[in-house]
A and B are shown apart, each in its own frame.
Chain A
Amino acid sequence: MTRITVTVDGVPYSDEVEPRMLLVHYLREVVGKVGTVVGCDTSNCGACTVHLDGHSVKSCNMLAVQADGREVTTIEGLATGGELHPMQAAFHENHALQCGYCTPGMIMQAVDLLQHNPNPSEDEIRQGMEGNLCRCTGYHNIVKAVAAAAGSMSSERSDA
């Protein structure tokens, strides 16, 4: 067992874990962040996407011990004070999901995309989301939601 200290959604945790434990299992089974889901379990689908020190990663493709001393943000840490993050609101308003299983990862990757490129074209959105698979929607409303969130987040910035 190895002791790790990880900040998850702003709260520090310190736990003994087996080195072979995947980050996604640590988040779900030890910390209780079940909003982050296991999809394909082969690092293809992106459903398990979280942010590690602010950058999107696939949490099924990392060991929990690799996150020692680092900061993880999950889908559960995006909303502030009961208010949905603009990306969550945009997915809701644009009906960017059907079964919803891919949604946590989609939203986390979309937030990362806008950090690098606040005003992406449709093509850049599709490229930026290439590591996240959705088997229901055909992506149409997901792309729409990301574009809408980009619009609302940039108008928020110009209001500030």
Chain B
Amino acid sequence: MIPAAFDYVAPTSVDEALSALAEAGDDAKVLAGGQSLLPILRMRLNAPEKVVDLGRIEALRGVRDEGDHLAIGAMTPYSDVVDDALVREHAGLLVKAVETVADPQIRHRGTLGGALVHADPAGDVGAPVLALDATLVVVGPGGERTVPAAEFFQDLFETSVADGELLTEIRIPKHTGWGSAYEKFVRVSHQWSIVAVAATVRVEGGSIAEARIGLTNMGSTPLRATAVEQALVGKGAADLADACAAAAEGTNPPSDLNGDADYRRHLAGVLARRAVQKAMEG
């Protein structure tokens, strides 16, 4: 399978990339790591006139310590996120989720920012970014704006990044000392989540002081299970089932060949309990 022909530009700065996008209008596509875009182009589900490749913009890669939060460049590959000492120490949940994405080859190329803007509800990066209360930095012709993760995901494959704009940075408040787990249910190890639950907890004296729960593929966007988060406060490891049973409350999961909506609701409760239990262990 071969993509339809397109013009290609590989800018080396964000400003150049914004100009290239402005010039191309709405028939341009941004190429980050390309691990979702390339299959789309090859199957000709999309045939843009211009592809703007961000792969040469060094400033968009890497992780910085910004005091109370980490700043992760949007073009940082999954494998660098997983190996990064700062992310491992201060945002363990992101590591646990990202290391389940696809397979090692895809994780070498795919990027955190690319996946967030692609916004596949079955992708594994939205739920942890939402659960960790990240802030996303978006730049456009009018300058820079910041978007809370809770407002970033708008619908299926749709985010608040408009045509002509770019996601440049993901800011994650430090969750130092929090335990975390990502429980992902799949039939084939390198496939998309049928359902997954991202959980990170702060434990004090054997019980949960604070909890953050994100859900993957339980609706058209990643979701926060805030009722579960509140119900978990004060609970010990033996006492999680009731609080976690409500994980699917208010969700609208899809039905497909992998499972119907009821099955997904059931999975969400089971996976939430497992994820919180593991998160309490570290």
* A binding-site residues for B, Cβ under 8 Å: 2, 18-22, 25, 41-44, 46, 49, 52, 55-58, 61-63, 65-66, 68, 109, 112-113, 127-128, 130-132
Contacts and interface: CB of A to CB of B under 8 A. Distances in A.
Contacts of A20: 2-6, 41
A72 to B, nearest CB: 13
Contact of B39 (A42, A56, A57): A42
Nearest to B191: A44
A113 B104 contact: yes
B34 A62 contact: yes
Contacts of B7: 19
B8 A109 contact: no
A8 to B, nearest CB: 18
Contacts of A58: 105-106, 109
A86 B186 CA distance: 34
B72 interface: no
Given A20-B41, A66-B55, A128 B6 contact: no
A119 B41 CA distance: 38
Nearest to A116: B104
Contact of B108 (A43, A56, A132): A56
Contact of A61 (B34, B79, B104, B190): B34
B1 interface: yes
Contacts of A61: 34-35, 38-39, 106, 109
A130 B108 contact: no
Contacts of B223: none
A51 to B, nearest CB: 9
Interface string B161-191: 0000000000000000000000000000110
A18 B6 CA distance: 9
**Chain B at the A interface: SS class:** mixed
Given A43-B35, A128-B104, A131-B103, A62 B109 contact: yes
B158 interface: no
Interface in B1-40: 1-8, 10, 31, 34-35, 38-39
Interface residues of B, number: 29
Nearest to B102: A131
Contacts of A113: 104
B5 A18 contact: yes
A56 B2 contact: no
B5 A43 contact: no
A65 B8 CA distance: 9
Counting chain A CB atoms within 10 Å of each CB, the highest count among B2, B7, B31, B79 belongs to: B2
A156 B258 CA distance: 46
A56 B5 CA distance: 27
B101 to A, nearest CB: 11
Nearest to B51: A19
A57 B5 contact: no
A147 to B, nearest CB: 17
B53 interface: yes
B42 interface: yes
Nearest first, the 9 A-B pairs at minimum CB distance are A131-B103, A19-B8, A20-B3, A55-B108, A130-B189, A58-B105, A61-B38, A130-B190, A56-B105
B34 A127 contact: no
A127 B55 contact: no
